[in-house]
Amino acid sequence: MNEDEMTEANLVVLSAGDTALALDATGPEMPRVLHWGVDPGFRADDAAQVLDAMGRTSRHQAGSLMPSQGRGWGWFGRPTLAGHRDGRVRPTRFELAEPVAVRAQDGRGGTVHVRALDPGAGLALHTELQMTEQGVVRLRHTLTNTATDTYTLDVLACVLPVPAHAAELLDFAGRWARERSPQRSPLRQGVWSRENRRGRTGFDAGLLLAGSEGFGFRHGEVWGVHPAWSGNHVQYAERLADGTTVLGGGELLDAGEIRLAEGESYRTPWVYFATSGTGLDGISRGFHDMLRARPQHPTTARPVTMNIWEAVYFDHDPERVRALANTAAAVGVERFVVDDGWFRHRRHDRAGLGDWYVDEKVWPDGLRPLADHVHGLGMQFGLWFEPEMVNPDSDLARAHPDWFLADPDRLPFEQRSQHVLDVAHPDAHAYLLERISTLVGDVGVDYIKWDHNRDLADAVHDGRPGVHAQTTAVYRLLDELRGRHTGLEIESCSSGGARADLGILERTDRIWGSDNIDPIERQAIQRWTGLLLPYELIGSHIGSAPAHISHRDTTLALRCATALFGHAGIESDISNWSQDDLAALTAWVSAYKQLRPLLHGGDVVRTDHPDPAAWVHGVVSRDRAHAVFAYVQLETSVAENGAPVRLPGLDPETRYVLRVRPELSSPEHTWPAWARRTTALTLTGRYLARVGLAAPDLTNRPGHVLVVEAQAQPSASQE
């Protein structure tokens, strides 16, 4: 579509892949979204007719990028902008200050800039809308106070409309060790709002999705919203009495948190919107491809990571840790991470937090000899920090009680014997930057596990609500550290997976999916975390049996197969494992290294399997020549026989050679007959997707797994 023709017709269309977004930019009011969803095939010469067909003459506020009550038919839904001047309000009447600026990219998305003014209200608005080459839309507003008196901002949200046939909602509940548990409901009139006031993203955070009736992983139309912000936030769906429906999101501001003097501005975080005509897997594909196209996305192979937390906890003995490093290197580990307990006064979790100096009593020679030993074994060296928190029983707290993110006369409750450190306090920020940066340089740290283990309760900074200032200060601290130490990688951990959002991932290289590494629990956590994030950004480790949190005993095969679908690692004292288990672990490490280009570059696929007791999921390479699938029996089945295992995402016309990966599967006696053939099974992608394979006989044997690799059969010329 020709950009100039569309602009002249006052219809702006951005398209990428199967997605299109059409804006009525006629003015003088803010542009209206006429369509966002599957690309209907807009044509430049149809621009005027499209505008008429979709309601150019209507002054309704439905679809406006900044709807208001007093324009057209009025918007009586949740306000997207609200504020006041010392209690006095003036309704907004934004009008375009200049023609809408468009930079389209011929079917590869583009950018729209809208600049609007309301002189009577003393406000200027700059709205940026981008469609990535993958079809994901992101939106943000910048509001500037142009009047002489202070403007207190209460709400500034980003919204996009969804069509009337959206009928269901999917979002997530969650808690520690049970992140992102899905819940579905009808999309009714009213507001379904998920509001997070914990000061961090939250165990229940991710995507809020609306979809056509009965949508699933591989079918149905779906629309989703995600605010890229690591502090308080809101995401919501609203359906009005007139049938108008929107998805919205943004930062959730506390009273008086944002006060703009003359000339000052507030910019919302990016709010991401994605849509798919092919179910939830299409939503994932858009986000995964977009994230992989970022310049800061990890480009090196994701190293097998050994974290020693569940191996030693606070019992840091240098010789024991060195021996553990030796065993890790022997099985093929590529990154060795020393977790909590290495710094002063830290023999338990009730003291020392904030005292970022190596504990001379535990590590009399410092950590450099250990780091050198780890590097000498061919592994990277990682170190744990929790910079945003402080124990009251610490030298830091005793010296600087004024550094707490709190009202000094009304401290909040201690959670995990911790308070929050005010990172926006200039001296606290400087201390953290100096200490962490010095340790990274002096010790030789390649990787930081950056933890965050409590909510921000009654967060007060300089007498005002402090979550916004804290979040931006943490972002700045991470940016400064990365600027000082080229190549340093950082993991975002927050009591497990409570800070997994696209804001923190602008500055970090992976998230820790959950503290719970019980593979049964992790199957669900990784499935739903993976809706937004590709596997290479989700830390997934093999733990002990029984699991340390759930106390469930599981097979090593299931633990291995579960950790495979992520940025894989180990979290157990493997120095006391049997030789047979170490041999199996070594084989798993080798399989992960062989498969990780596929796992971390292919399309994630999940079946809508008819038996809820078993799940089928996998990854298919972009050229459809290679795939790996897992069949996981989660619990006993109601049916006596398992449902056929369909393998989606393959090329329908290609014949695939199938083989079980024994180092990733339960013992051979659990395999179906086809998997035990002396010659490999070869079938077309169409057959495998529509008919499938006989399931393993596991209906009464939860906790077992079968991993199948599919490779395109070579042609006669290739043979």
| Residue whose C-alpha is closest to residue 426's, from 397, 469, 485, 396 | 469
Q: Is residue 684 in some structural domain?
A: yes
Catalytic residues, by residue number, are 451, 515
The tens digit of pLDDT for each residue in 236-295 reads 999 999 899 999 999 999 999 999 999 999 999 999 999 999 999 999 999 999 999 999
The tens digit of pLDDT for each residue in 564-602 reads 999 999 999 999 999 999 999 999 999 999 999 999 999
Q: With the CA atoms of 217, 219, 223 and 229 taken in that order, what torsion angle do they form, in degrees rounded to the nearest 10?
A: 10
Q: Is residue 438 in some structural domain?
A: yes
At residue 486, does pLDDT exceed 60? Answer: yes
Tally of structural domains, the chain: 3
Q: Are 615 and 696 in contact (CB under 8 A)?
A: no
At residue 48, does pLDDT exceed 80? Answer: no
Q: Is residue 7 in some structural domain?
A: yes
Give the residue from 251, 272, 292 where a domain finishes.
292
Give the residue from 234, 264, 292 where a domain finishes.
292
At residue 232, does pLDDT exceed 70? Answer: yes
Q: Are 56 and 22 in contact (CB under 8 A)?
A: no
At residue 3, does pLDDT exceed 70? Answer: no
Q: Domain containing 440: what range?
A: 385-512
Give pLDDT, residue 343: 98
Q: How far is CA 335 from CA 225, 331, 377, 449, 654, in A?
A: 35, 12, 10, 12, 38
User: Is the same domain home to 283 and 408?
Assistant: no
Give pLDDT, residue 52: 76
Residues at the binding site for substrate are 176, 339-340, 416, 449-453, 493, 515
User: Is the same domain home to 54 and 192?
Assistant: yes
Give pLDDT, residue 2: 41
User: Is the same domain home to 101 and 225?
Assistant: yes
Q: Is residue 406 in some structural domain?
A: yes
Q: 555 falls in which pLDDT band (50, 70, 90)?
A: very high
| Residue whose C-alpha is closest to residue 381's, from 316, 331, 441, 341 | 441
Give the residue from 260, 292, 324 where a domain finishes.
292
Q: What CATH number did the domain enclosing 470 receive?
A: 3.20.20.70
What pairing do the DSSP bridges indicate for beta strands 464-465 and 460-461? antiparallel
Q: 6 falls in which pLDDT band (50, 70, 90)?
A: very low
Amino acid identity of residue 4, one-letter, is D
Amino acid identity of residue 627, one-letter, is A
The backbone torsions φ and ψ at residue 304, rounded to the nearest 5 degrees and listed phi first, read -60, 125
User: Is the same domain home to 221 and 92?
Assistant: yes
Q: Is residue 643 in some structural domain?
A: yes
Q: 716 falls in which pLDDT band (50, 70, 90)?
A: low
Q: Is residue 639 in some structural domain?
A: yes
User: Is the same domain home to 46 and 186?
Assistant: yes
Peptide bond into 652 cis (omega under 30): no
Residues at the binding site are 176, 339-340, 416, 449-453, 493, 515
Q: Is the pTM of this model over 0.85?
A: yes
Give pLDDT, residue 58: 52
The tens digit of pLDDT for each residue in 140-188 reads 999 999 999 999 999 999 999 999 999 999 999 999 999 999 999 999 9
Give pLDDT, residue 106: 83
The tens digit of pLDDT for each residue in 650-680 reads 999 999 999 999 999 999 999 999 999 989 9
User: Is the same domain home to 242 and 108?
Assistant: yes
User: Is the same domain home to 288 and 413?
Assistant: no
Q: Which of 67-81, 622-636, 674-688 has the lowest mean pLDDT?
A: 67-81
Q: Which helix (H) or strand (E) holds 479?
A: helix 467-484
User: Is the same domain home to 29 and 153?
Assistant: yes
Give pLDDT, residue 60: 63
Nearby residues of 189 by Cβ (< 8 Å), 6 or more positions away: 239, 240, 241
Which structure tokens are listed for 393?
Answer: 């029983």
Q: What CATH number did the domain enclosing 642 receive?
A: 2.60.40.1180
Give pLDDT, residue 713: 95
- Cα separation, 490 vs 484, in Å, equals 13
- Cα separation, 46 vs 613, in Å, equals 50
Q: Is residue 355 in some structural domain?
A: no
Helix (H, G, I), strand (E, B) or coil at 429: helix
HSE-up (13 A, CA, CB side) for residue 586: 12
Give pLDDT, residue 717: 53
Q: What CATH number did the domain enclosing 155 receive?
A: 2.70.98.60
Task: Kindly provide the b/e burial profile for residues 343-358, where b requires at least 16 CB atoms within 10 angstroms of the residue's own CB.
Answer: bbbbeebbbbbbbbeb
Q: Is residue 600 in some structural domain?
A: no
- Cα separation, 484 vs 56, in Å, equals 52
